[in-house]
Each structure stands twice: as structure tokens, then as C-alpha cells.
Amino acid sequence: MSELTKIINDRLEKSVPPSARIPYIPLSFVKGKGALLYDCDGKEYIDFLASASSANIGHGNEEIAAAVNTQMLELAQYTSVYFPTQNMIKLAELLLEKAGRANYMASFTCTGSASIDGAIKYARGFTGRPRIISFSESYHGSSYGAISVSALTNNMTRKIGPLLPGCEKFTYPDCLRCRFNQKCETCNLDCLEQIKYAFEHYLPADEVAAFLIEPIAGDAGLIVPPKKYIKALRELCDEHEILLISDEINQGVGRTGKLFAMDHFDIDCDLYVLGKSLGGGLPLGAVVGRKDVMESLGSPAHAFTMSGNATCCAASLKMFEIMDRDDIFNQSTEKGEYLRKKFLELKDKYEVIGDVRGAGLNLGVDLVTDRESMNKNYEATAKISYYCMKNGLVLTFLGKSSMRVQPPIVITYEQLDKAIEIFTEALDKYVNNELPDSILDEMQGW
Ligand SMILES: Cc1ncc(COP(=O)(O)O)c(C=O)c1O
């Protein structure tokens, strides 16, 4: 650790509580351009994290900065709850147009978590039913509502209960490590059967307002569910008049090559929740959903002083303009395919890579102890991630074994190649036992 990083870290420890951070290794970035980052010592990094998928458009975008500057000088914000700004209305209209669904509406907040809370409120309000079903290892945010529907780590829930009542969890469909010991080819969707069993025996379906699910389970390790599961879930919802909510906060806004990652599964959801990259670098969250559902709550059941504020919406509008002009969604698809091939080539060479999955520039590269058991290889994951970060590639991990590959979509092909070079070096070092165990004491993360 450099002297400056040490000082920053000491100051952090003294001024910001542990509850507000998930450190991997001590690093503090001061500048970014596109997919490049610079730390407090001026060292350059390729960003494979995109600020936790909140910088799909990349860093240091001058056009967005100019739009924000103009708006700040004209009218930084005036609460849209009382007097709506043009920008908020424009952004709502744009999202509805991009969503391509008739009779949808959009409401805004300043974070993904607050929009998850909104989705819960709308679902309960519309159906008059109390229960929300979400999934194992899901992360939906840190407000009380969002924590209540999350199931990632006890550290989030310990000591703060009671949480929101009526929040039920079932197993997320993970075909690599099926909890029901099924094989993909012969799978009967036992993971869905457990829900049907619950509906028959102890969880009345007519008390369930909504399922809340991520189209790709981000923080669980970028797990892609089988299409037949999502389709069957939609059918189950229809059968019991339960709403389906897609959490697109991590996966939306072009990350998988589409506005909504759920569109890969050819189904419609009743509500979509957006956040992170939606704000083009500023805090913004949204619920986009069926008009009848969203109109079920009266004024002001989901209103925040700063939500849909003029400056955040200006950044978002400019970002979408750039995304359209530069075909960023398509770039995500093409660069994602390019990168997937590179990782699959590495998989052919290195036994430790058990799986490469994802959609668009959004890949989970799973490291395993062996390909027979497909057990998670935390040691390899932590050591390789550490080596990459020390050598100019911000590559974190999730679910103890999944490399989180979510670069800004504007990353160049040269930068992708360079990143693969660093990752390959790390693999070689790991295979040759050159990465010491002491790394495991230093490395933290989820
Ligand atoms: C899938 C998902 N939902 C919700 C959230 C919460 O968003 P925010 O941190 O903006 O409140 C996150 C954040 O990591 C997320 O990944």
C-alpha cells in the first residue's frame, strides 16, 4: 500500500463506519476517462467494474458534464413533487418510449433501493396482498424495504430487525450448482416446484402480491437462469394474478445489450426497476411499469423531494442521447461476445475456469476447485482478483468464485485485450503457485 493510500485508508477508518463499505483492497480513485481509472498515486487501471455497473457510459464524459453544468446554472433542482421539471417529464416519456410497452408509467427516486421500495408499494397497493417473494442470494438494496427482500448476507440483517413483514425467499435457479441436484438436460424445474408446493401447503398464492427477481442474479455471481424457468415463472404469476417485478438496477440500461435484461427472456414484467447507470453518473432510480399498477397508489405515497430532479435527469437524458448516437447497446453485445470468446479460450487452457456466462458486456467467470464437483474456488478467485488489482485491472468478484466482468461499455478493444493479458498473467501465477496465501488475509469483498 502506498503512503498516500495508507493515509486515505486511515482517515476512512476513522470517519466512515464499516456498515457503509465493502472494501476489496485499499484503493482510492481520483480520476477516470472512458474505461480507465487513476488512483490517488496517479497509477492507471482498466476498469472491469464500472463502479458496480453504474458507469455503463464510462467515466469523465464531457458531453454529460456540460449538460449537467448548464442545468446546474439554470435550475439545479426544484422539487418535482410539487412543480414538475421538464427534464423529469422528458425522461419519463423517453423511458416509456424505449421500454416499448403501451400504457406504462415511470416514477423516480434517487437510488435503486428506494425504487425497489416503490415497486413493493405499488405491488401491494395494486393487489391488496401483503407478500413479496424474492430469491436466495439476491441483493436488492439497503433501505429497509430493499433489505427485507434481499437474501445475500446475514451481515445486512443482523441486529436491525424486525424487517418488513411478508417477505418470502425461494431458491434462485442456478444450473451450475443446482440445489436440487438436477442436470440441465433433464431438469424438471424443481426450484419452481418448491414454490408451487408452498402455494398448495403453507403460502396461499392469493396473499402474494409479487415476485421480485433479477433477470441475471448480479451479486450472487452473475448467474443466468434458464429461459424456461423465467417463462414458467411468468405463467405461474398469470395463473395466480401475481405481479412480476424485474430488478434491472444492475443489469439494465444497456449492460446486457438491452434496456431491460429481462427482454432476453421474451416475457413482459409488470414493473421494472432501474437505477445505477440510469443517472449517467448521478443518483437516479426509477420504476417503469403498468399504468394501472402504478396508479393504484394515491398522492404522495411514493414521492421524494429530490427525485427526478432536473440535474440528474439532464445527465440521464444526455446519456441516452449518446447511447443512441453511438449505438452503445449494440457495442455491449459485440464487445461482450468478443470478451466471452477470449475467456472461453482461457477456459480451454486453464482447468480452474469452470464456467463463463452472461449476456452482453456482463460476464461471470467462475473459478472452481475442479470441473467434476464445480465447487467454488475462493482461494483462486481472491488471489487472482488481488493480482489483477495490483497490476492495473480493477477486477472484483462475487459469490466467492465469480469474477465480475462489467466494464464501462465504452471500453476499447485494445483495453479489453490488455485486461485479458493481465488476467492471463494472474492465472499463470496462480497455477504456478506464485500467489502467496497472505493475499487471503488482505483480500476482503462480499
Ligand atoms: C440488483 C440490485 N438491486 C438494487 C441495488 C440497490 O441499488 P442502490 O445501491 O442504488 O440503492 C443494487 C445495488 O448494488 C443491485 O445490484
123 neighbors 107 (Cβ within 8 angstroms): no
pTM over 0.75: yes
Residue 102: pLDDT band by 50, 70, 90 thresholds? confident
Type of residue found at 106? A
Residue 410: pLDDT band by 50, 70, 90 thresholds? very high
pLDDT value for 443: 84
- Output the nine-digit C-alpha cell for 338: 468478443
Residues in the chain: 446
- Average pLDDT (284-295) is 98
Q: Which residues contact 15 (CB under 8 A, 6 or more apart)?
A: none
- Average pLDDT (221-250) is 98
pLDDT value for 442: 86
Q: Which among 110, 142, 250, 272 is the best mutation to test ligand 1's pocket, defined by most ligand atoms within 8 Å of the CB?
A: 250
Residue 9: pLDDT band by 50, 70, 90 thresholds? confident
Burial 94-129 (b: 16+ CB within 10 A, else e): bbbebbebeebbbbbbbbbbbbbbbbbbbbbbbbeb
Alpha helices in 47-205 (DSSP H): 50-53, 62-75, 86-99, 112-127, 144-148, 154-157, 190-201
Among 422, 418, 344, which Cα is nearest to 386's? 422
pLDDT value for 184: 87
pLDDT value for 2: 85
- Average pLDDT (158-167) is 97
β-sheet bridge partners, residue 212: 245
Share of the chain above pLDDT 70, in %: 100
Which residue has the least CA distance to atom 2 on ligand 1?
Answer: 140
pLDDT value for 342: 98
- Centre of ligand 1 from the C-alpha of residue 128, in Å: 26
Ordered by where they begin, the domains of the chain are 3-61+327-442 (3.90.1150.10), 80-325 (3.40.640.10)
Using H for helix, E for strand and C for coil, what is the string for 214-230? CCCECCCCCECCCHHHH
Residue 130: pLDDT band by 50, 70, 90 thresholds? very high
- Average pLDDT (110-128) is 98
Q: Cα 109 vs. chain centroid, distance in angstroms?
A: 17
214 pLDDT higher than 80: yes
Closest atom of ligand 1 to 283 CA is 10
- Output the nine-digit C-alpha cell for 23: 472494501
- Centre of ligand 1 from the C-alpha of residue 434, in Å: 36
Burial 171-210 (b: 16+ CB within 10 A, else e): bbbbbbbbeeeeeeeebebebbeebeebbeeeeebebbbb
Per residue in 11-33, pLDDT (tens digit) is: 999 999 999 988 888 899 999 99
Long-range contacts of 326-330 (CB under 8 A, 24+ apart): 326/410, 328/56, 328/57, 328/254, 328/409, 328/410, 329/254, 329/257, 329/258, 329/259, 330/257
Q: Is the CB of 250 under 6 A from ligand 1?
A: yes
- Average pLDDT (378-396) is 97
pLDDT value for 395: 98
446 pLDDT higher than 80: no
Among 302, 199, 289, 203, which Cα is nearest to 243's? 289
Q: Cα 3 vs. chain centroid, distance in angstroms?
A: 33
CA angle 355, 361, 366 (to 5 degrees): 20
Per residue in 296-324, pLDDT (tens digit) is: 999 999 999 999 999 999 999 999 999 99
- Centre of ligand 1 from the C-alpha of residue 351, in Å: 33
Place of cell 488475509: 441
pLDDT value for 445: 78
pLDDT value for 185: 85
Q: Is the CB of 52 under 6 A from ligand 1?
A: yes
90 pLDDT higher than 80: yes
pLDDT value for 182: 93
240 neighbors 206 (Cβ within 8 angstroms): yes
Per residue in 37-67, pLDDT (tens digit) is: 999 999 999 999 999 999 999 999 999 999 9
Among 98, 307, 108, 60, which Cα is nearest to 68's? 60
Pair type for strands 363-367 and 353-358: antiparallel
Q: Is the CB of 129 under 6 A from ligand 1?
A: no
Share of the chain above pLDDT 90, in %: 94
β-sheet bridge partners, residue 364: 357, 404
244 pLDDT higher than 80: yes
5 pLDDT higher than 90: no
Closest atom of ligand 1 to 285 CA is 10
Range from 153-157, 346-350, 385-389 carrying the lowest mean pLDDT: 153-157
Q: Is the CB of 218 under 6 A from ligand 1?
A: yes
Place of cell 424505449: 98
Mean pLDDT across the chain: 96
pLDDT value for 4: 87
CA distance 75 to 5: 37
pLDDT value for 172: 97
359 neighbors 256 (Cβ within 8 angstroms): yes
94 pLDDT higher than 80: yes
Q: Which among 110, 113, 316 is the best mutation to test ligand 1's pocket, defined by most ligand atoms within 8 Å of the CB?
A: 113
pLDDT value for 234: 98
Q: Is the CB of 249 under 6 A from ligand 1?
A: yes
CA distance 432 to 193: 45
Range from 232-236, 437-441, 442-446 carrying the lowest mean pLDDT: 442-446
Per residue in 176-196, pLDDT (tens digit) is: 999 999 998 899 999 999 999
Q: Is the CB of 111 under 6 A from ligand 1?
A: yes
- Average pLDDT (204-213) is 98
CA distance 24 to 396: 7
